[in-house]
Amino acid sequence: MNILTTEEKNIILGSIRDIPDFPKPGIIFKDISTLLSNTTALNTLMTHLENRYRSYDLDYIAGIDARGFIFGSILSDRLGVGFVPVRKKGKLPYTTVAEKYSLEYGFDEVEIHIDAFGENGCCSTGEKSKVLLIDDLIATGGTAKAAANLINKVGAKCVEACFIMELGFLNGSEGIEAPVYSVLEID
């Protein structure tokens, strides 16, 4: 399995800007826009992910709205597989399947097209489509759990959930019905 060197981790982590007190006091926001604009850091990250997932024989990559779209699209192009957006409710134009998840004060929903991974979630061989779920950050894990459930709900198989950063102290990866890989773990 492909593992980042200390130098590669430092390149990626060093390109992520901390914004204190955003969106509210006490929060340190991890801004990936500086990672995206740093060609060395972005290439280091995407080459690592490409090397890690090349042997997974994936059919699709599903990216969570909206920053997962960026990493998922780049990786799907590098691996030569399809990309599927997991969107917030009401953003997809065709028949969808939805999954609710809890927020601190209420609920939200994510959706995918019912045929996003082929008919009944199967690829051209008739096997369950193998899907990698990707997003930039996992905090409490509600969105990620809902997205992984959606993949499985339409008949495909979420083979792994990948995050660029994980806020480990929030234990957000617990309860995801797939193995979890986080490039950077922040405590």
- Condensed to tens digits (0 to 9), the pLDDT of residues 66-78 reads 999 999 999 999 9
- DSSP for residue 45: H
pLDDT digits (tens, 9 = 90+) for 73-127: 999 999 999 999 999 999 999 999 999 998 767 899 999 999 999 988 888 888 9
Percentage with pLDDT > 70 across the chain = 99
| 57-186: CATH architecture | 3-Layer(aba) Sandwich (3.40)
Cis peptide before 66 (omega within 30 of 0): yes
| Encoded tokens for 124 | 């051209």
Q: What is the pTM of this model?
A: 0.95
- The CA distance from 71 to 53, in Å, is 13
Does residue 177 have an active-site annotation? no
What would the two tokens of residue 62 be?
A: 């599903």
Per the annotation, the verdict on 7 as an active-site residue is no
Q: What's the angle, vertex CA 85, arms to CA 84 and CA 89, rounded to 5?
A: 140
Domain boundaries, the chain: 57-186
Residues 38, 10: Cα–Cα separation, whole Å: 13
Candidate list 8, 50, 67, 78, residue with the active-site label: 67
Candidates 2, 3, 5, 9; CA nearest to 184 is 9
Q: What pLDDT sits at residue 1?
A: 59
| Other beta carbons less than 10 A from residue 160's beta carbon | 19
